Amino acid sequence: MSTTWHVLGAGSLGTLWAARLARAGLPVRLILRDKARLASYQAVSGLTLVEQGQARTYPVTGETVDSPEPIHRLLVACKAYDAPGAVAQLEHRLAPDAELILLQNGLGSQDAVAAQLPLARCIFASSTEGAFRESDWCVVFAGHGYTWLGDASHPTAPLWLDDLRGAGIPHEWNTDILTRLWRKLALNCAINPLTVLHQCRNGGLQDHQCEVATLCAELAELLECCGQPAAAQDLQAEVERVIQATAANYSSMYQDVANGRRTEISYLLGYACQAATRHQLSLPHLQQLQVRLVNHLSAHGLPSD
Ligand code: NAP
């Protein structure tokens, strides 16, 4: 009998994973934030995933944190700012051998969760898949990609990667997951805040090449200082490639701000600036970027943490 996949958070990525695991016949249970959300979910017939214009509904069982069943495998699919609190509510249900897969973008929330649960195995993930909520319980699979998974303290891959293979979730075990997460954080810091401040698509940053180059130089210095030289390599060239390849897209931070949603700033630019302070590094442009972004968010009535 396969171990049940408990999925915490039925948003974009949580639904994308839960639907594909359920489609492969694997046992999946969705953990929703409260009774009201559970009642709303139970009023529909399951999770709907829209792929290439085709919608299919998967009848995944929902529950709240108060459900009694022990949890052996937990996919944490909340935003970075919600993850530690949401996991804490489930602590009493985690089996001694529990494994958690943390899908959060940026850095900081994974360490916070791991520190709460010293006995559990916490696997960090970095994904280039893209999905968005069309409505409650209905998610559009918008961009095919890859998910890298790794555990900075144990290089051995878990056996359940076979479940992902069976479910058609493209993935790779990565023994250097921190390098991948740092690199993604640096790319995000060089692009996303500027798209918010200049109110432009990613391609609009081609008009701000000097600003981007200065930020890349400071970010590379930070990565080196944080023991991540591989993540620093050719950073500017990759940032320029990403800007070109995604020129028509609005960054995720731009979309969050445009839709009045809280951003994950504390786990991206905020995390980078905190690391710089810890290492007593002076990175004036990065720090100024954070001040400008925080002011912009406050001016739009959005939280700046
Ligand atoms: P999302 O659509 O906002 O989904 C987050 C879900 O977490 C929501 O359904 C929310 O519940 C739920 N949640 C929050 N607190 C909870 C709690 N205490 N108990 C139960 N559920 C709780 O976010 P997302 O886009 O999937 O992003 C998740 C993470 O993946 C982020 O760190 C993001 O940066 C990263 N990521 C996303 C994508 C993407 O394409 N979406 C791609 C790569 C990485 P409610 O529905 O009740 O609000």
- Residue ID of nearest Cα to ligand 1 atom 40: 130
Ligand 1 proximity of 80 Cβ (cutoff 6 Å) = yes
Distances (CA, A) of 194 to 107, 187, 248, 296: 20, 12, 15, 11
Q: Which residue has the higher pLDDT, 305 or 203?
A: 203
pLDDT (mean) for 128-135: 96
Please give the Cα distance from 283 to 295 (Å, whole number). 19
DSSP state of 208: G
Listed residue (87, 107, 86) closest to 98, CA to CA: 87
CA distances from 95 to 3, 68, 90, 98, 241 (A): 12, 12, 10, 5, 44
pTM, two decimals, is 0.97
- Is the domain spanning 5-175 CATH 3.40.50.720? The answer is yes
Q: What confidence score (pLDDT) does residue 10 get?
A: 96
Q: Where are the domains of the chain?
A: 5-175, 179-299
Look at residue 86 in the predicted model and tell me its pLDDT.
98
Q: How far is the CA of 14 from the centre of ligand 1 (A)?
A: 7
Summarised one tens digit per residue, pLDDT across range 139-162 is 999 999 999 999 998 999 999 999
Decide if pLDDT at 248 tops 80: yes
Q: Using the predicted structure, report yes or no on whether residue 208 has a pLDDT greater than 80.
A: yes
Task: Indicate the pLDDT class of residue 163, thresholds 50, 70 and 90.
Answer: very high
Q: Which of 184, 186, 205, 222 is catalytic?
A: 184
Residue 222 has pLDDT above 80, yes or no: yes
Secondary structure percentages of the chain, helix, strand, coil, to 5: 45, 20, 35
User: What separation in Å is there between the alpha carbon of 8 and the centre of ligand 1?
Assistant: 9
Q: What percent of the chain stands above pLDDT 70? A: 100
d(CA 24, CA 39): 26
Rounded to an integer, what distance in angstroms lies between the CA atom of residue 142 and that of residue 205?
23
**Is the CB–ligand 1 distance for residue 133 below 6 Å?**
yes
pLDDT per residue as tens digits for the range 67-123: 999 999 999 999 999 999 999 999 999 999 999 999 999 999 999 999 999 999 999
Its CATH architecture, for the domain 179-299, is: Orthogonal Bundle (1.10)
Q: How far is the CA of 81 from the centre of ligand 1 (A)?
A: 10
What is the overall mean pLDDT for the chain?
97
Q: Which of 6, 7, 8, 13 to mutate to test the pocket of ligand 1 (most atoms within 8 A of CB)?
A: 13
Q: What is the pLDDT of residue 147?
A: 98
Provide the H-helix boundaries in 259-283.
269-278
Q: How far is it, in rounded angstroms, from Cα 221 to Cα 225?
A: 6
Whether 6 lines ligand 1, by a CB cut-off of 6 Å, is: no
184 catalytic? Reply is: yes
Q: Does residue 1 surpass a pLDDT of 90?
A: no
